[in-house]
Amino acid sequence: MGVQAQTFGRGVIRKYRGWLPEIPDEAIATLGEGDTPLIPAPRLSERVGTDLHLKFEGMNPTASFKDRGMTVAMSRAVAAGNRACICASTGNTAAAASAYAARAGMACFVMVPAGKIALGKAVQVLAHGAEIVQIEGNFDAALRLSRRAAEQMGDVALVNSVNPDRIEGQKTSAFEVCEALGRPPDALALPVGNAGNITAYWKGFREWRDAGLADEAPRMLGFQAVGASPLVAGHDFENPETVASAIRIGSPASREGALNAVGESGGLIESVTDEEILAAQDLLAREEGVFCEPASAAGVAGLIKLALEGRSPGGTVVSVLTGHGLKDPAAVLDRVELPEPVPATFEAVARRMEAAPP
C-alpha cells in the first residue's frame, strides 16, 4: 500500500476531498487522474500578446479532462448502490465512463451519434468493454434519450455533466491552475460544447476566492465552433456541424452555468471557424510540441483571433487543452499524409532529406 501510494497519483478525490461531496473510501473509483501539467507557451505567448500557459488535460488517464468528473460521478454511483451507468457523448465522456465503470465493476452504456465520434474514442470504449449504442441522431438527441433511460430504468446512474458530481470533480482543475501559478490567472480560455466545463472552472475559481485563497477570479473566455455556436447566436442549432467533433453540440445542457460564468467574471463567449481551430491545433503541435485534439485548440484559436483584432486579454492567461491529439488521428491525416517510402540506401535517404524543408 505504501509503495502504491507513492507511485500511483492520489487522484482528485483524495487530493481535494474537503472540496467535494462525501465519498466513502471503499467507493472510490480512481485511475490517478488530475495533476496535469501547466505548460508555459513562449512562442504562442508572442502571437497572442499574453503570458500564455497550457493546462494539458490530455495527460489524464483516458486522455481528456472528463476523468476528473468521472471519478467523482462513478464513485458516488458506487456509494449509492448503482449497478449500471449511462451517458450520451461526443466521445470523450464515453471513453472516461467506460474506463471508470470498468474500474468500479459497473456495467456501462454509452450513447453516441453514429459515425460521428473520433476513432481513438470509439476504440477506448470497445477496449473497456462498454456497451456502445450508436444512434441515428446527434449528441443532443443522445442526451435526451440517456436522461430518459436513466429516469425510467432505475438503478442506472446518469454520468453526463448534468450530474452535479461531474461538475464537482471537474472544478479541481481550477484549483491546480491556482496552485501551479501561485495565484489565479487573469483569464482562462477554453472550448465550450455542452458547457459543463466552463461551469465547473468558474465554480472552482469562485470557491478558491471565497475561501480566501485569492482576491480575484479570472475572466472566463469561452469559444464555440461557428457551426455549433448556440451560446453565441442565442438560439439552439438543430444540425450543429464542425470538424471539432467533441463540441458538435446544438443545445448545451449547462447553458445557464456558462452564461453566469461569463457574466459574473466579465468574460466572453465567441466563436471560431474550423479553419482557425485547425490552424491553432497545428501551431500548438509544431511551435510548442503539445498535441491536442481539434476541439481542444478552440481556446488558443480564440486568443489568436482576439489578438488579431486588438482585443488580447493581456496578463497571464491559461488555455485548457481538454483532450489529447491521439484521440482523433483522422483530423491530422485529412491534412497531411505519410510520404512514399524510399529505398534503404544512403543516396535515397540523402535525396529525401535534401528535398525536405529546413
Q: Which residues bind ligand F0G (CB under 6 A)?
A: 64, 66, 89-93, 161, 191-197, 246-247, 293, 295-296, 322-323
Separation in Å, CA 298 to CA 81, 114, 115, 197, 354:
38, 24, 22, 14, 35
d(CA 198, CA 222): 7
By beta-carbon proximity to ligand F0G, the closer residue of 229 and 296 is: 296
CB atoms within 10 A of CB 334: 11
By beta-carbon proximity to ligand F0G, the closer residue of 92 and 98 is: 92
d(CA 153, CA 17): 31
Kindly state the smallest distance separating residue 346's Cβ from ligand F0G, in Å: 43
Residue 54 C-alpha cell reads as 497550457
Kindly state the smallest distance separating residue 210's Cβ from ligand F0G, in Å: 22
Alpha-carbon Rg for the chain, nearest whole angstrom, is 20
Kindly state the smallest distance separating residue 30's Cβ from ligand F0G, in Å: 19
By beta-carbon proximity to ligand F0G, the closer residue of 50 and 90 is: 90
By beta-carbon proximity to ligand F0G, the closer residue of 90 and 319 is: 90
List, in order, residues 6 or more apart from 357 with CB less than 8 Å away: none
By beta-carbon proximity to ligand F0G, the closer residue of 61 and 193 is: 193
By beta-carbon proximity to ligand F0G, the closer residue of 94 and 304 is: 94
Kindly state the smallest distance separating residue 253's Cβ from ligand F0G, in Å: 8
Buried b (16+ CB within 10 A) or exposed e, 151-188: eeeeebbbbbbbbbbbbbbbbbbbbbbbebeebbbbbb
The DSSP call for residue 19 is: G
Whether the Cβ atoms of residue 23 and residue 13 lie closer than 8 Å to each other:
yes
Judged by DSSP in three states, 319 sits in strand
Kindly state the smallest distance separating residue 151's Cβ from ligand F0G, in Å: 19
* DSSP letter for each residue of 77-88: HHHTT--EEEEE
Kindly state the smallest distance separating residue 315's Cβ from ligand F0G, in Å: 24
By beta-carbon proximity to ligand F0G, the closer residue of 122 and 195 is: 195
